[in-house]
Amino acid sequence: MLKVSYFYLLGRSRKGFSFHLLNFKFTIIFLFSKINREEEASMAASAYVLVNISGPQTKGAVGKIRKVKGVKSAHIVAGPFDLVVFVEGKSQEEIGELVISRIRKTQGVTNTVTCFVVG
């Protein structure tokens, strides 16, 4: 009885009300998802930092870099670079600051190249 009165007050049939409610739920879910994705994109950034380290200081530098807040992993590699570091931060600016103020200033680091993840 109460449900029928509710439909009556809205001026909709039960079928019309159900469709309206379903549409409303979809809109809310869609908007919530969109807001979350935009917020996530503006708040999260990640990058691979390619690092050159001078000869004998590699292991010491790697240990120091791994302890830096924001560094998720650091691997010694073969090739034109000595180390590949994966970092995460709230923004690209934060990652840039981390690379300049912490990674580049680590003893033994001679060069860095930062590659931001875009997808």
Q: What does the pLDDT read at residue 59? A: 83
Tens digits of pLDDT across the chain (119 residues): 444 444 454 555 556 556 555 555 555 555 455 555 555 555 589 999 999 999 787 888 999 999 999 999 999 999 999 999 999 999 999 999 999 999 999 999 999 999 999 98
- Could you give the CA distance from residue 26 to residue 78 in angstroms, rounded to a whole number? 51
Q: Where exactly are the structural domains of the chain?
A: 2-42, 44-116
Q: With 0-12 CB in 10 A as exposed, 13-18 as middle and 19+ as buried, what is 82?
A: buried
pTM: 0.64
Q: Is 40 exposed, middle or buried (0-12, 13-18, 19+ CB in 10 A)?
A: exposed
Report whether 94 contacts 42 (CB < 8 A).
no
- In CATH terms, 44-116 corresponds, of 3.30.70.920, 3.50.50.60, 3.30.470.10, 3.90.550.10, to 3.30.70.920
